[in-house]
Amino acid sequence: MPEAQPTPALPTIGILGAGKVGTVLSRLLLAAGYRVLIAGSGSPTKIALIIDVLAPGAVPLSADEVARDADIVILALPLGKYRSIPAEQLAGKLVIDAMNYWWEIDGHRADLSDPRTSTSELIQSFLPDSRVVKAFNHMGYHDLDEGPRPEGTPGRKAIGIAGDYDADLTAAAALVNAAGFDPVRVGTLRDSILLEPGSELFGANLPAEGVQDAATRFPETARGREVAAARADADEDEDEDAA
Amino acid sequence: MPTTPIEFGLNSFGDVPTDGSRTLSDAETVRLVVEEAKKAEAVGLDVFSLGEHYREGYVDSATPVLLAGIATATERIRLGTAVTVLSTNDPVRLYNEFSTLDALSNGRAQLVLGRASQTQSFPLFGYNLEDYETLFEEKLDLFMKLQREMPVTWEGTVRAPLVEQTLHPTMRPGGIPTWIGVGGSPNSVIRAARYGLPLMLAIIGGEPHRFAGHVDLYHRALDQFGLPRQPVGQHALGLIADTDEEAAETWWHSWQPLITMMGRERGFYPPTRERYELELATGALFVGSPETVAQKIVRMTKELQISRFDLKYDIGGLPVDARARTIELFGTKVAPRVRELLAAEGDEPQHDEHASHDLYRIGSTHA
């Protein structure tokens, strides 16, 4: 029998965004024993009181500092502001995209509602030197707040995750599990559109089986067909361009 | 002298109701809202507030006009908003409207300023949603200056500058009670505290106790700014009927299609009946018999330290009779029952001795 390995130190988590989702995720991960660094849109002093009350224990820093000092960074800012993300400092890191296109906050944006591209693919292209995984986006922040349960609890709610690399999905799954939810792999970053607004899973607060089922039947839903058609057209255009 | 430990308000968005198989016209709904406000006063409620929406199924677009009509048809009930979309209003025009309403109603006007969850007013009046923060921040600054320190000299990016400007009719000293409506954004809570304005929590989904942290944040922020405690209120949706079952069925009939439509617009799937039942049991919906709703409100006074509870009693397609019954039961059964329960527990909010007076002084001291 091999000797017990010492538990490797938990990664430090950075959270960009100190709003509804950012503060809830901070609380969940602090409760799980992680060191959490968090940034709002301005200087850390602006969010010091918010963090002290709503996520005590998290460390308010600037966005640059959070991106630089954290091992894994969660994006919880309004999607429309993604260009403010400090891309350079995130190079080489796992970045978890919890953002959604919400036109009432972001304004109507064609670039964020194009069915041919998932918004996480957009983020991945903005962060070419990072590895992006979609997670924590489809569950409403109040369900995130109310839903965490220890692993193995019957009826434990699940969170769908999507990404392109197995190791990154494993790391994201560990975070989701630590936060109090069953992680369910639903596909690649391109597939992550099935976790976005307009898809059945968006807003879903279901156990693992329910998340899995909804992901499986996505292609048959109206939204799934719309996405498939738009992507098929795009591929055709590309073929024509190539020819 | 005993004072009211908790205030009760009704909120209407001017939702168009049904009467039997018929849907009322917009004009009929406008007149109905005035009648409902009169009824609210008759059953002893404290405040009647109207929203501001610009879409089919809602007739509350000209809020101050409708409130003025109610002002001349009532004598005692206070008249407010739920909420005024400050970002797409001109603060000067807003001041004029509400100083006039306050004069007309003999000092009964008040406001809740916020973002609102509907955004039709942005394109309608030529604003960009992306500018929301700047619009709200600058306009709140100007509106509070107008209320607190006339004449006003002001310059910003969202409207023409003012130089030594005085407006008429002038408001009472310090302005009218002005609340900030928040939907969960911690930054908005801090903003309300920074201006020393009371906080209205719009809680329309999930378990309300989630907002306890926001109330704590609000109090801590007021302390940090060196400002005195201000009231916290709650805006919620609901319906009161004679039995829990009747209330649940009647509400579901209108709520389900409404949420389904909103889901289509925003990209989420409609709620299941199971989810609905959960909202009734532990969530944000105040749907039930008078006793059920009263018990739930009492819980809110503890979990969220609220001293004002506003019930939005109309949602699209609800029968006029169900609306009337809600208003009646809210005033005659729920409000007295909540007060009775609070008195019995000797657990009334501590700041009430002066709360209702404070409402008239809010804003006067910390410009």
Please name the residues between 260 and 289 in chain B that touch chain A, using a CB distance below 8 Å: 263, 266-269, 275
Interval A71-92: pLDDT, tens = 999 999 999 999 999 999 999 9
Mutate to test the interface with B, among A146, A157, A201, A227 (most CBs of B within 10 A): A146
The pTM of the full predicted model, rounded to 2 decimals, is: 0.89
Interface contact flag, A53 B268, Cβ < 8 Å:
no
- Rounded CA-CA distance B61/B89 in Å is 12
CA dihedral for A80, A86, A91, A95, sign (positive or negative): negative
> Structural domains in chain B?
7-255+286-361 (3.20.20.30)
For B220, the closest of A53, A196, A205 (CB atoms) is: A53
Residue type for position B290: P
The sign of the CA dihedral B58, B64, B69, B75 is positive
Closest approach of B232 to chain A, Cα-based (Å): 17
Q: Within an 8 Å CB–CB cutoff, is residue B128 touching chain A?
A: yes
B55 touches chain A (CB under 8 A): no
Chain B interface test: which of A142, A143, A195, A200 (most B C-beta within 10 Å): A142
Inter-CA distances, A233 with A199, A223, A241, B140, B152, Å: 20, 15, 12, 48, 59
Question: Which residues in chain B have their CB less than 8 angstroms from residue A50's CB?
Answer: 186-187, 190, 217
Do A50 and B205 lie within an 8 Å CB cutoff? no
pLDDT per residue, tens digit, chain B (367 aa), is 344 489 999 999 999 999 999 999 999 999 999 999 999 999 999 999 999 999 999 999 999 999 999 999 999 999 999 999 999 999 999 999 999 999 999 999 999 999 877 889 999 999 998 898 899 999 999 999 999 999 999 999 999 999 999 999 999 999 999 999 999 899 999 999 999 999 999 998 888 999 999 999 999 999 999 999 999 999 999 999 999 999 999 999 999 998 888 888 888 888 889 889 988 999 999 999 999 999 999 999 999 999 999 999 999 999 999 999 999 999 999 999 999 999 998 755 554 444 443 433 333 333 2
Contact (CB<8Å) A142/B210: yes
CB contact under 8 A, B206 and A145: yes
Domains and CATH numbers, chain A: 13-242 (3.40.50.720)
What is the C-alpha to C-alpha distance for residues B266 and B291, in angstroms, rounded to an integer? 35
Task: Name the minimum distance, in Å, from the CA of B266 to any CA of chain A.
Answer: 7
Six-digit token string for A133: 């995984």
State the ipTM, two decimals. Answer: 0.86
B253/B276 Cα distance (integer angstroms): 11
Is residue B43 classed as helix, strand or coil in its secondary structure? coil
Residue of B nearest to A109 (CA): B130
Dihedral sign computed on CA atoms, order A81, B259, B208, B77: positive
